[in-house]
């Protein structure tokens, strides 16, 4: 009897392992084709892709929470490499581990690689094609809308604390002033300075909490 029970448990475990592998394979395929679709229909770089990523993974599939998506964008922007690839790698790893990160990253790169490769072969003829130029003018308007809409959605998810509002307003004002007066100041420095200020405020809060605890 014990041998039969052990055999049944082993068979059940095998069936469960097979189902888990099948579910993992289906999840990877779904992730791959979703990223492939996003990579194919994204114009204007990684910032334009953010709106599509949020719509697919936050609103539709609900694989990622809104707060985590905002944090992901901050991480993807502040780390080396294109924000589109960094975001895809993060989402893939979140959904399906290392294989998910690899699948998502490859999928999002395939469309742009193929399209740019084909364009490079027929580059001169492609530039002289009038209808292509007009099409890209229309696409540019859509790209601006996608970037703005992604920014507005992320702004809604940010906690409305005094520190967040002050930092946001200060960044916007400085960026506008630097643009008006043609001051060369990379956006990377805004990210680094913002991160440094955030760490400074955090450590100040930790020190205050410790001092309060010692007084009690």
pLDDT digits (tens, 9 = 90+) for 102-143: 999 999 989 888 888 887 787 667 667 777 777 777 877 777
197 touches 171 (CB < 8 A)? no
Cα–Cα distance for residue pair 142/148, rounded to 1 Å: 10
SS3 43: coil
Cα–Cα distance for residue pair 77/46, rounded to 1 Å: 10
pLDDT band at 45 (very low <50, low <70, confident <90, very high): low
In which residue are the tokens 């930790």 written? 206
Which tokens go with 38?
Answer: 């996003």
* Span 59-78, average pLDDT: 84
Cα–Cα distance for residue pair 118/125, rounded to 1 Å: 11
User: Quick one: the chain helix, strand, coil %, rounded to 5?
Assistant: 85, 0, 15
Q: pLDDT at position 191, please?
A: 82
pTM (two decimals): 0.63
Round the average pLDDT of the chain to a whole number and report it. Answer: 81
Q: Is the pLDDT of residue 52 over 80?
A: yes
43: left (phi over 0), alpha (psi -120 to 50) or beta: beta
Share of the chain above pLDDT 90, in %: 12
Contacts of residue 87, Cβ cutoff 8 Å, sequence gap at least 6:
46, 49, 50, 53, 72, 73, 76
DSSP H helices, 55-186, are 66-78, 83-121, 123-127, 130-157, 162-180
Comparing 193 with 139, which gets the higher pLDDT? 193
Contacts of residue 208, Cβ cutoff 8 Å, sequence gap at least 6:
none
């Amino acid at each position: 009897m014990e041998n039969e029970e052990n055999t049944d448990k082993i068979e059940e475990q095998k069936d469960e392992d097979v189902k888990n592998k099948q579910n993992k394979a289906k999840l990877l395929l779904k992730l791959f084709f979703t990223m492939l679709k996003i990579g194919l229909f994204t114009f204007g770089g990684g910032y334009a892709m953010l709106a599509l990523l949020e719509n697919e993974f936050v609103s539709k599939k609900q694989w990622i929470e809104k707060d985590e998506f905002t944090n992901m964008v901050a991480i993807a922007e502040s780390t080396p490499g294109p924000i589109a690839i960094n975001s895809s790698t993060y989402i893939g790893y979140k959904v399906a581990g290392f294989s998910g990160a690899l699948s998502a990253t490859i999928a999002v790169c395939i469309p742009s690689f193929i399209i740019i490769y084909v364009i490079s072969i027929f580059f001169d003829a492609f530039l002289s094609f009038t209808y292509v130029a007009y099409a890209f003018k229309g696409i540019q308007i859509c790209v601006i809308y996608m970037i703005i809409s992604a920014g507005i959605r992320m702004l809604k998810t940010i906690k409305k604390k005094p520190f967040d509002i002050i930092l946001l307003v200060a960044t916007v004002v400085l960026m506008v002033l630097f643009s008006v007066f043609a001051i060369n100041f990379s956006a990377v420095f805004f990210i680094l300075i913002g991160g440094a200020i955030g760490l400074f405020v955090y450590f100040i809060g930790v020190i205050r909490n410790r001092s309060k605890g010692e007084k009690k």
